[in-house]
Amino acid sequence: MIDRSLLFEVLTQRLTESRALALLGARQVGKTTLAQLYASRHNCVYFDLEDPQSLEHLSQPMVTLDAALSAGRTVVIDEVQRRAELFPVLRTLIDRHARNSQFLLLGSASPLLLQQSGESLAGRLGLLYMGGVALSEWTHTNSSSSAKGLSPVHMNQLWLRGGFPRALLAPSARAAMRWLRDYLSLVIERDMPQMGLNVAALTMQRFWRLLAHYHGQTWNAAEPARSLGVSEPTVRKYLDFLVGLQLVRQLPPWHENLGKRQVKAPKIYIRDSGLLHYLWGVEDDDALWLHPKSGASWEGFALEQVLHVAQPDEAYFWATHSGAELDLLMFKRGLRVGVEFKRIDAPKITPSMLIAIQDLHLDALYVVYPGQRRYHLQPKSAAISTPIEAIPLNDLATLPADWN
Ligand SMILES: Nc1ncnc2c1ncn2[C@@H]1O[C@H](COP(=O)(O)OP(=O)(O)OP(=O)(O)O)[C@@H](O)[C@H]1O
Ligand SMILES: [Mg+2]
């Protein structure tokens, strides 16, 4: 088993803070497994609405659930989006029992769940997003207490195969890629139509390949629209859909009042590095290292890990037309933290970093790189007091406390 105890703690904590919590995330990231673990350790009753027996037990939901809540139990409902008519019942019960940890809701169609619950449970439902296996979790799973960070083999395994547990744990990289191929087919042919996006499978396959091509770059709907033979609003709709499914990240551009021309288009990333590699046709470590865009893949992978660890309030990238840029600008509790991703041995301060520090008034700048040593970078000019630090990607697993 992959050790997801960090996430388990967050789930437990969040449930104590809200009457009802929805556990959301892309398909197959491990929502059901985590919820079952929770149910096995707490006083819970578990319903899976894809299971006929559960459905039968819930033939009179008001009575059954009221009894469970009165007995002080937490009600876990998986695949809740299958019975939208339950939501008004949940609302009544949530208001009646007025204590926290009443309901844990989850389902394989997160956007649908969100939409349905939004109508009935407004203001009553906490949301917890979970992603694929993060570097920190993979490190917990694989490191002995004496070793620092992940071995290069394990690091490459996570990067190459991505964070879906089934791909990560597949018997070979090739088997992982086959699993990812089938996963994508199912998302395209079953999930997307079920959630109301009726697009020819072939068009969606091509759209995914375009996304893989643009991974880590700015995205402007005009070119993809032309190449798919659809309108720009249609392309935007496709993209929004995949963002909603938590499969694609759209990083918006930051704009500072500077009198400089700044990039206004968002950047897009395929969030799971394994899916990206499948789409690129990359099947093993050698192919990945030799791939002309492996740098972009590494940056996207590192970006997801930083966002997972830092949990910022907002995240952007920044770029000017004259060439200065910042890969990631995070806002957290009023602080501005910049992050650069450099896939080189020993990153140094670049002119672009200094411009970003000054123009954006950064409180700190981190340079994430693939090495082993954490060190401070000292700007030549004494006028710059912002701390700049190089951080190994491998260190991100153990960082949370000082990432604030
Ligand atoms: N911590 C883990 N360690 C090992 N395997 C895991 C872990 N979590 C999940 N898996 C495996 O990954 C697969 C998907 O897990 P699970 O069914 O929990 O995901 P899900 O998010 O509920 O998927 P869906 O959205 O399709 O309902 C399963 O085969 C499960 O056994
Ligand atoms: Mg599930």
The 10s digit of each residue's pLDDT in 121-162 is 988 999 999 999 999 999 999 986 556 778 999 999 999 999
Task: Report whether residue 140 contacts ligand 1, using a CB cutoff of 6 Å.
Answer: no
Q: Say if CB 310 and CB 337 are below 8 A apart.
A: yes
Task: Report whether residue 33 contacts ligand 1, using a CB cutoff of 6 Å.
Answer: yes
Q: What is the mean pLDDT of residues 198-218?
A: 95
Task: Say what the pLDDT of residue 86 is.
Answer: 95
What CA–CA distance (Å, rounded) separates 8 from 84? Answer: 27
Name the CA radius of gyration of the chain, rounded: 22
| pLDDT higher than threshold 80 for residue 404 | no
Task: Say what the pLDDT of residue 143 is.
Answer: 80
Alpha-carbon distances of 132 from 18, 25, 30, 163, 252, rounded to whole Å:
24, 8, 8, 4, 22
Q: Say if CB 104 and CB 76 are below 8 A apart.
A: yes
Judged by its nearest atom, the ligand closest to the C-alpha of residue 33 is: 1
Q: What is the mean pLDDT of residues 325-332?
A: 96
Report pLDDT digits (tens) over 42-73.
999 999 999 999 999 999 999 999 999 999 99
Judged by its nearest atom, the ligand closest to the C-alpha of residue 78 is: 2
**Running DSSP on this structure, what letter comes out for residue 266?**
P
Does the domain at residues 5-129 carry the CATH identifier 3.40.50.300? Answer: yes
For 38-52, 77-91, 134-148, 293-307, which range has the lowest pLDDT when averaged over its residues? 134-148
Residue 35 CA: which ligand 1 atom is closest? 18
Pocket probe mutation, ligand 1, options 23, 32, 139, 164, max atoms within 8 Å of Cβ: 32
Residue nearest atom 16 of ligand 1, based on CA coordinates: 30
Q: What's the one-letter identity of residue 211?
A: L
Question: How open is the CA angle 232-234-238, to the nearest 5 degrees?
Answer: 115
| Both structure tokens of 306 | 């930083």
CA of 28 to the centre of ligand 1 (A): 5
Task: Say what the pLDDT of residue 149 is.
Answer: 78
Q: What is the mean pLDDT of residues 271-283?
A: 98
Span(s) in the chain for CATH 3.40.50.300: 5-129
Q: What is the mean pLDDT of residues 72-98?
A: 95
Q: Which residues pair with 315 in a beta bridge?
A: 330
Quote the mean pLDDT of the chain. 93
Residue 33 CA: which ligand 1 atom is closest? 18
What CA–CA distance (Å, rounded) separates 208 from 159? Answer: 19
| Both structure tokens of 184 | 């994508």
Task: Say what the pLDDT of residue 377 is.
Answer: 95
Task: Report whether residue 1 contacts ligand 1, using a CB cutoff of 6 Å.
Answer: yes
What CA–CA distance (Å, rounded) separates 19 from 134? Answer: 27
Residue 29 CA: which ligand 1 atom is closest? 21
At 400, is the pLDDT very low, low, confident or very high (cuts 50, 70, 90)? very low
Residue 1 CA: which ligand 1 atom is closest? 3
Task: Report whether residue 165 contacts ligand 1, using a CB cutoff of 6 Å.
Answer: yes
Determine how many CB atoms are found less than 10 A away from the CB of residue 128. Answer: 20
Pocket probe mutation, ligand 1, options 8, 33, 128, 182, max atoms within 8 Å of Cβ: 33
What protein residues have CB closer than 5 angstroms to ion ligand 2?
A: 32
| Both structure tokens of 150 | 């992940």
CA of 256 to the centre of ligand 2 (A): 42
Task: Report whether residue 32 contacts ligand 1, using a CB cutoff of 6 Å.
Answer: yes
